[in-house]
């Protein structure tokens, strides 16, 4: 295990840096590249642990991958070319890997088992298994003793009987979820009738954009999407995609710049898909000196340089919703710690079932740094300490990469000594070069085995 010792910043953070490529888009590029015909190239490959879990699972089913400098080349096997795995498919810590793969495996003529680490093995899977069962899939999981009618990993996905196919489905998601929506759309590639999905609000739409670019018959209208395979050949061509920077990773660098007075930081080539930019809206509401410079599109995904310009502006509390910003809430809570007034986080109950209970975890972290906060069932209220320093703290990441990075950026604004974040290896899940990037901006961080 590795700990981080983060020293208070004695001078502003300054510089222009990249972030890892968007892991949400990378997951989908790997999965669809595997189902295409021919060799697809995924550029700006970051290689975080979550994406490596997806790659490893596909490799176990006969898909070939070659690393070429900063690119990943996928040799697709076609929609019906996956092979039965000889071992259980290890999804590591990645809920995206497990849920999206389940959608694909539900239509296969072979049996498979999906496993994960201790954290992933506690996360709810009925939200995917239920609608997939409704369209004819046969999926079993471990009963969850703490939650009625819930299952967790390991998931066992049984083979479809010979001569049968997944049925069409019209399904209204109770909660907006890109993972559930994507699993059902991927299963819809194999169905013999339409897949029609509706969400209460539009979740991230990377899957829809990529499928449409590959010629899959897809129709979208607001938060409704329909995949109708009638007349479709069932074939997808190989592709070449440049992955944009991950806005979820960028949030921590922008947060560090806001917490250290006088900082001026540019994060280059960040994906600014409108279904993902809730964090930028929240920062504007908090009076952050934010500058977004558009840099065009890559494969239908908008990209921009995002900067925090040095300013004497005082951050203010705001009402923050998890809509379009669920993964960025921990970073926003860390930023709220140094704002004037209170910040209310709401509609974020989904944080209770992430890699950790992120509401409870962030309350613990904030209090450790001397910040008053009150947990709510679906969020929290943070009383900012504008003008008063945070106190140094020792906090446990609980194996959650976003909790670890949130604590690290708060430590930069502490006074009175260094802070320690224990069990920080998990940061490699999404941002392997997090420490190096902060050091390049001027932060002092020690890595302690």
* Cβ atoms of residues 332 and 345 within 8 Å: yes
Contacts of residue 213, Cβ cutoff 8 Å, sequence gap at least 6: 239, 299, 300
Give, in order, the Cα–Cα distances in Å from 189 to each of 61, 224, 265. 18, 17, 43
Query: Coil, helix or strand for 37?
Result: strand
What's residue 357's pLDDT? 95
Q: Which of 22, 50, 205, 327 is catalytic?
A: 327
What pLDDT does 339 receive?
Answer: 96
Task: Give the pLDDT of residue 387.
Answer: 84
Question: For position 365, what pLDDT does the model report?
Answer: 98
User: According to the CATH classification, is domain 3-20+245-448 in 3.30.1330.40?
Assistant: no
The whole-number pLDDT of residue 145 equals: 86
Residue 67 sits at φ, ψ, to 5 deg, of: -85, 125
Q: Which CATH class is domain 23-228?
A: alpha beta
| pLDDT digit string, tens, across residues 136-170 | 999 999 999 888 999 999 999 999 999 999 999 99
Q: Supply the pLDDT for residue 323.
A: 87
What confidence score (pLDDT) does residue 353 get?
Answer: 83
CATH topology identical between 3-20+245-448 and 23-228: yes
User: What pLDDT shows up at residue 302?
Assistant: 94
Helix (H) or strand (E) holding 105: helix 95-105
From the list 131, 97, 128, 135, the residue with the least C-alpha distance to 114 is: 97
Tell me the mean pLDDT per 10 residues along the chain, length 449: 95 97 96 98 91 97 94 97 98 96 98 96 96 97 92 97 95 95 98 97 95 96 96 95 96 97 96 95 97 89 93 90 92 97 94 92 98 96 94 97 98 97 94 96 97
Distance in angstroms (rounded) separating the CA atoms of residues 381 and 378: 10
| Long-range contacts formed by 214-221: CB under 8 A, 24+ apart | 214/32, 214/36, 214/239, 216/189, 218/185
Token digits of residue 117: 């680490």
The token duo for 288 is 């952050």
* 240 tagged catalytic: no
Q: What pLDDT sits at residue 138? A: 97
Domain boundaries, the chain: 3-20+245-448, 23-228
């Amino acid at each position: 295990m590795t700990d981080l010792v983060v020293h208070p910043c004695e001078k502003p953070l300054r510089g222009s840096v990249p972030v890892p490529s968007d892991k949400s888009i990378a997951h989908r590029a790997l999965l669809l590249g595997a189902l295409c015909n021919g060799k697809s190239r995924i550029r700006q490959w970051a290689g975080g642990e979550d994406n490596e879990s997806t790659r490893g699972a596909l490799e176990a089913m006969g898909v070939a991958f070659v690393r070429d400098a900063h690119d990943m080349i996928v040799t697709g096997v076609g929609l019906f070319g996956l092979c039965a795995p000889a071992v259980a498919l290890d999804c590591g810590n990645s809920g995206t890997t497990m849920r999206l793969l389940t959608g694909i495996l539900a239509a296969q003529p072979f049996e498979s088992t999906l496993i994960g680490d201790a954290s992933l093995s506690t996360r709810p899977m009925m939200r995917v298994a239920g609608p997939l069962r409704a369209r004819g899939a046969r999926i079993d999981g471990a009963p969850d003793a703490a939650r009625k009618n819930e299952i967790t990993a390991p998931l066992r996905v049984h083979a479809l009987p010979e001569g049968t196919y997944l049925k069409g489905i019209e399904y209204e998601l109770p909660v907006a979820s890109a993972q559930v929506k994507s699993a059902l759309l991927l299963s819809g590639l194999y169905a013999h009738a339409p897949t029609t999905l509706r969400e209460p609000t539009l979740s991230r739409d990377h899957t829809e954009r990529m499928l449409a670019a590959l010629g899959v018959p897809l129709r979208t209208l607001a938060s409704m999407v329909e995949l109708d395979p009638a007349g479709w050949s069932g074939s997808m061509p190989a592709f070449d995609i440049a992955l944009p920077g991950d806005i979820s990773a960028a949030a921590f660098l922008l947060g560090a710049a806001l917490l250290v007075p006088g900082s001026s930081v540019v994060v280059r080539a960040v994906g600014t898909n409108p279904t993902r930019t809730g964090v930028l809206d929240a920062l504007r509401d908090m009076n952050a000196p934010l500058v977004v410079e558009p840099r065009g599109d890559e494969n239908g995904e908008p990209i921009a340089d995002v900067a925090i310009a040095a300013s004497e502006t005082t951050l203010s509390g705001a009402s923050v919703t998890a809509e379009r910003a669920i993964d960025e809430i921990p970073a926003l809570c860390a930023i709220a710690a140094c704002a004037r007034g209170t910040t209310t986080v709401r509609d974020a109950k989904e944080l209770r079932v992430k890699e950790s209970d992120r509401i409870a975890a962030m309350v613990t972290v904030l209090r450790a740094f001397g910040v008053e906060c009150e947990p709510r069932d679906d969020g929290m209220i943070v009383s900012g300490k504008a003008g008063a320093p945070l106190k140094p703290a020792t906090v446990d990441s609980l194996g959650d990469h976003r909790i670890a990075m949130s604590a690290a950026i708060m430590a930069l604004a502490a006074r009175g000594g260094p802070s320690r974040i224990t069990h920080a290896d998990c940061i490699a899940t999404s941002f392997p070069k997090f420490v190096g990037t902060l050091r390049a901006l001027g932060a002092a961080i020690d890595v302690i085995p």
